[in-house]
Amino acid sequence: MSERTLAIIKPDAVKKDAIGDIIKMYEGAGLRPVAIRMMRMPKPTAEGFYAVHKARPFFDSLTTFMASGPVVVLVLEGKDAIKRHRDLMGATDPAKAVAGTIRKAHGTNIEYNAVHGSDSPETARFEIGYFFPEMDLVAR
Ligand code: IDP
Ligand code: MG
């Protein structure tokens, strides 16, 4: 079933000039961008995005990191996009990510781990709508 998921290329990966390589990995996996936006995420925007993690000890550090530099926010479309994108990203901790994954290639540590990906259809719906109005999603 064709699905859409939200991806973010985080500030650490943008800083490393890895945008092109990461988008190439999405496309190589059959995850086609249907929306792309580069932005600086204000801290309150990062806090709203990661609201589910509000109680976690790393919440302040994580949202400060996400607001620390430009990010690239994308909507990816493809068959079973949510799970296949999570598989392509690899484990949250890059040290545990397997070869061939984005986090293995570009992640620095468990916090600065290069990319974000929605983890369920409900999350994807919320996260896509958080950054993109429906009319910004192109048909392909
Ligand atoms: P995920 O990005 O693999 O879905 P989550 O558990 O949803 O992982 O955590 C969201 C983000 O919070 C991670 O991508 C990472 O940047 C950061 N994070 C997760 N766990 C830790 C931690 O133990 N210490 C510091 N940052 C963390
Ligand atoms: Mg998550």
The CATH label, of 2.60.40.420, 3.40.190.10, 3.30.70.141, 3.30.460.80, for the domain at 2-136 is: 3.30.70.141
Q: Span 49-76, mean pLDDT?
A: 98
List the domain boundaries for the chain.
2-136
d(CA 126, CA 49): 9
Indicate the DSSP class of residue 13.
H
Q: Active site includes 106? A: no
Mutational pocket test of ligand 1: of 62, 87, 115, the residue with most ligand atoms within 8 Å of the beta carbon: 62
| Distance (Å) from CA 98 to ligand 2 centroid | 18
Of all ligands present, the nearest one to the C-alpha of 102 is: 1
* 78 pLDDT above the threshold of 90: yes
The band of 24, judged by pLDDT with boundaries at 50, 70 and 90, is very high
Q: Span 113-137, mean pLDDT?
A: 98
pLDDT for residue 50: 98
